Amino acid sequence: MFDEPGFPRDADLEYSGMALETFVYCSRASKGVGDVEVNRIIDFSQRSNAARRITGMLVFGSGVFFQWVEGPPTEVKSLIKSIYGDSRHHDIVELDRSVDNRERLYPAWEMERVEADDIRTVLQDALESAEDENSVAALKRILVHLGSAPLASLGGS
Ligand SMILES: Cc1cc2nc3c(=O)[nH]c(=O)nc-3n(C[C@H](O)[C@H](O)[C@H](O)COP(=O)(O)O)c2cc1C
């Protein structure tokens, strides 16, 4: 997909040691934020992330968000600021944040909506295909975290 016009990226550059920042968090949706608004967030994010070379996934279920964001550190930092300032959710709990030289786990997803029931499978699949230690370590941390708490309780209450 990054070969298409509008996706200027040299994939080889990333594999030859470009830093990738990962930000993983969960939060609680604000009152009135449901499926319709989440789809709006996804539509906006897919356009905006493509231009910033950010990829990842967003899970929404039982009023809780779980999001995995990965991309160039400057772009991810700026997105994190926007995410923290967004009144459509609150009680943001950071689960993982790191800068590593590693491959993208979700290279084809500008921001994919994943159903809450599928979250463990999606992370488990990524773990099976991950090739470097940093990705494996980050995924294991998240899986342990998810295993120790039901998704709906991760946003705190
Ligand atoms: C749960 C959630 C996830 C979001 N994910 C993204 C995202 O991946 N990319 C994005 O550009 N905006 C995302 N947004 C929207 C941003 O918070 C923000 O509204 C948007 O980036 C515009 O930011 P700005 O007004 O600071 O330019 C998300 C919002 C929420 C509530």
- Domain residue limits at 50: 11-153
Percent of the chain predicted with pLDDT > 90: 51
- The string of pLDDT tens digits covering residues 25-43 is 999 999 999 999 999 999 9
**Is residue 142 in a domain?**
yes
pLDDT band, residue 13 (cuts 50/70/90): very low
Distance 64 CA to ligand 1 centre (A): 16
**Is residue 121 in a domain?**
yes
**Is residue 4 in a domain?**
no
- The string of pLDDT tens digits covering residues 85-119 is 999 999 998 989 999 888 898 999 999 999 888 88
Domain count, the chain: 1
List the single range of 11-20, 33-42, 131-140 with lowest mean pLDDT. 11-20
Q: Whose CA is nearest to atom 22 of ligand 1?
A: 82
Can you give the CATH number for the domain in which 108 is found? 3.30.70.100
Distance 11 CA to ligand 1 centre (A): 25
- Cα–Cα distance for residue pair 133/113, rounded to 1 Å: 26
For ligand 1, residues with CB inside 6 Å are 41, 44-45, 48-49, 58, 65, 67, 69, 79, 82-83, 86, 88-89, 111
Sheet of 55-61, strands arranged across: 89-101, 19-29, 64-71, 55-61, 112-115
Ligand 1 nearest-atom number relative to CA 81: 26
